[in-house]
Chain A
Amino acid sequence: MSETLPLLNALDMARFTARGFLRFDAAVPAEINAQFLAEAGEPPKPAPGRKMLGTYMELLANSGVPEVPPGVPLASAYPQGSAIQRLLDLPVVKGAIQSLVGPDPVFDHHFLHVTFPPAYYEAGGGENVSQHTHQDSTIDPSEGFDLQIMYYPHKVTREMGGTRFVPGTHLRRVSEVALGRYQNIAGQQHMVCEAGTLLFLHNGIWHGGGVNHADRTRTMFKIRMNPSVPQTRLWDVSTLPPEPAQRPIFFIKSPQPETVESILMTPEPWFEQDTGRLEFLNRVKLWRRLSGDPDFDADYWATRLQNPARRA
């Protein structure tokens, strides 16, 4: 019997298109969280003179999380029965992955991110600071995207820092930590969450690890995966309206209902007044790809520019 997965609907896909993330709170059962923490292993206790790099290398060397080369099918990256394979097999996870990067994504890389509390820095030196905000990997001019899953196997409090990310930054073409100068950006979010929470991110989103002021380590596991098919109509397209239509713009007499268009046209607090409109255009461009509708537009931004009567 074939499995029916809970694919993402049109509004969730529009949210991902507009903001570059989807959050699934406490989606992973406690039993898998406990298994993962046991497999990942504990870092050595702080000891006078032991540097942070040495602590981290010892943690990785003793971890039960496997080394995996990039480019293999995600389906073969983890042993059956391991915590991560069980997580990837959860219907809500499988359905979301399939909706965003297709049924057979390719494993890119993973990493065990551990943020250490002050005691480690007091013992071994170094400065306990947050990570500069950055976009992962390199400048990425492609029209599709990779998916990054951030998995929080234990509860994260604000004191523990949490992953900081800036919704809506994913369509900007920047060079990794070149943007590190921006300490704080209006609308930034900090991942304060219950155990088993998952954050699905577009690879372009600006983010950084928060500083840990608590008395325990903070653990986050990240998996990056690539699509192996074009990212077009991989989700539940039955949730699209049969006939998309332009909605009234600017001169509006009453609140508009939530639609794909309204989600794509919602600005972020950090949007500049002029380039915010270009963000809208770039969202329309990504939605055209995801929906397979080359003529899609929202609020007339693209149609106005593409009027054939205006071409030379």
Chain B
Amino acid sequence: MRQKVLVLYLANSALDAPTIAWAVYDGTGETRPMAGDNDQAPYRTGVDALKDGWRLFQAAQILPHHRGDEFDLAYLKYEFFFEKLVETAA
């Protein structure tokens, strides 16, 4: 059994919000995803990934904004981790 991981970054905290960034990591070794390898999102929303069999296992918290830091932007906020478990020969 091996794990495939899909990370979707959505436009807001709702799982049916549009995808704005994405990553795939393949524990089976069958594919080698890497930075810049796809200009088209694999799923339009997080719910579309659920419909395709991906299991959500982590979602970013919605955190309050500390006074004085309200306008500082850094990392993408709405991060969702999904997995698929894949049977392998090994």
Contacts and interface: CB of A to CB of B under 8 A. Distances in A.
Contacts of A188: 36, 39
A102 B83 CA distance: 50
Interface in B18-44: 19-24, 32-39, 41
Chain A contact surface mostly: loop
Nearest to A141: B72
B37 A174 contact: no
Interface string A169-180: 001111000111
Interface residues of B, number: 29
Counting chain A CB atoms within 10 Å of each CB, the highest count among B21, B34, B37, B41 belongs to B21
Nearest to A211: B34
Interface string B50-66: 00000000000000000
A130 B21 contact: no
Contact of A272 (B7, B24, B70, B78): B78
A164 B36 contact: yes
B23 A172 contact: no
A172 B32 CA distance: 29
Given A188-B36, A270-B76, A278-B73, 9 more contacts: A129-B32, A129-B35, A172-B75, A173-B72, A173-B73, A183-B33, A184-B35, A186-B21, A282-B73
Interface of A: 129-133, 161, 164, 171-174, 178-186, 188, 190, 208, 210-211, 269-275, 278-279, 281-282
22 contacts: A129-B32, A131-B35, A133-B35, A171-B73, A172-B75, A179-B75, A181-B23, A182-B9, A182-B23, A182-B35, A182-B76, A183-B22, A183-B37, A185-B9, A190-B36, A208-B35, A270-B76, A272-B76, A272-B77, A273-B11, A278-B70, A279-B73
